[in-house]
Amino acid sequence: MAVDEALLLSFDPVDSPPLLRLYGWRPPALSLGRFQDAAGVLDLDRCRAVGVPIIRRISGGGVIFHADELTYSIVCSQRHLPPASSIKESFRHLTAFLLVFYGKLGMDPRYAVDLRHGRRLGERTPFCFAGRESYDILIDGKKIGGNAQRRLKEVIFQHGSIPLRNRAEEGAGFMKERPHGIREQTITLAEADIEKDEAEFNFLLAESFREGMGVTLQEDRLSGRETDAAGKLREKYRDDRWNLFGEI
C-alpha cells in the first residue's frame, strides 16, 4: 500500500506515462476502505486472536480479505481517458483489460450493469464482495474480484483484485456482521478450473492490458523519488492511527 500511494503522489499528470503494477499479498491481510470505521465493521478481537494484519487503503469501498489473489494498480491522468469520461465511465475504461484477461482464460465476463439480474447496483456494503457496482465483473452471474479508485486533481489511481481461490467466506468471518451466502455469490479462477502459476497470470494480465488499452508496455523499476516516498509511507502503514482510525 505504501508503494501504491507513492506511485500516486509521484505521478505527474502532464509528463508521466500511465503505469500498471502487479503484486500479491503475503501474509494474507484485511484492507479497509479509506473511510471505514475499523471497530464498526470488523471483529477486532478475532482479528487480533488470529493475527491477521489490518491495513487501510487510500481508495474507498468495503473490506477486502487479500489472500490467494493477484492485485493490480493503475495510475494515469484524465488525459489518458476518453474525453468527458465520468468517474463511472472511467471504471469501464480502466477495467476493460480484465474482460480481455478473463476472456483469454476461456471465461465469459460481463459487467453487472449489462446484465438483467434484478439486484440493486451501487448499494454500499461493509464487505466488498457482498456488494455490486455497475462495473463489477461477473462470471455466470457471480462477482469476481473488486476495484476501487482514488483521485488527486488530474491523477487517477485504481487498484483491484483477481481472486485465485475462494477465501471470501473466510474473510467475511472477520466482519462484525457476516454477510450470508457470500461463497455462493462469488467466483474465483480455481472454481472455474483455471490453474496457472503466478508468472503466467501476470504475463496474461500485462498482455491483456496492452491489448485492451491499446498501449505499448515497457518494464520498469521504481524511480528514486518513488522509492523514497514509499520508504517514508511505510511508517504510516505500520501505524494503527492510520490503519484503525484513518488519522494521518
Q: What is the pTM of this model?
A: 0.93
Please report the pLDDT score of residue 123 as a whole number.
72
Q: What are the residue boundaries of the structural domains of the chain, listed by start? A: 2-215
| Residue 47 falls in the annotated catalytic set | no
Q: Return the bridge partners of 22, or none.
A: 72
Binning pLDDT at 50, 70 and 90, where does residue 243 land? very high
- Average pLDDT score over residue span 1-30: 96
Distances in Å between the alpha carbon of 96 and those of 38, 54, 100, 103? 32, 30, 7, 11
- Average pLDDT score over residue span 60-89: 91
Instruction: Give ∠ CA 84-99-30 in degrees, rounded to 5.
Output: 90
Residues 81, 215: contact at Cβ < 8 Å?
A: no
High-pLDDT (> 70) share of the chain, %: 98
Please report the pLDDT score of residue 119 as a whole number.
65
In this predicted structure, the answer to whether residue 68 has a pLDDT above a threshold of 90 is yes
Please report the pLDDT score of residue 121 as a whole number.
81
In this predicted structure, the answer to whether residue 85 has a pLDDT above a threshold of 80 is no
Choice among 8, 52, 128, 155 that is catalytic:
128
Residues 10, 223: contact at Cβ < 8 Å?
A: yes
Burial zone of 113 (CB within 10 Å; 0-12 exposed, 13-18 middle, 19+ buried): middle
Please report the pLDDT score of residue 180 as a whole number.
85
Cα radius of gyration (the chain): 17
pLDDT digits (tens, 9 = 90+) for 117-159: 656 787 779 999 898 889 999 999 999 999 999 999 889 999 9
High-pLDDT (> 90) share of the chain, %: 83
Chain mean pLDDT for the chain: 94
Residues 165, 144: contact at Cβ < 8 Å?
A: no
Does the 2-215 domain belong in CATH 1.20.1260.10?
Answer: no
Identity at 26, one-letter amino acid code? R
Please report the pLDDT score of residue 95 as a whole number.
96
Please report the pLDDT score of residue 153 as a whole number.
85
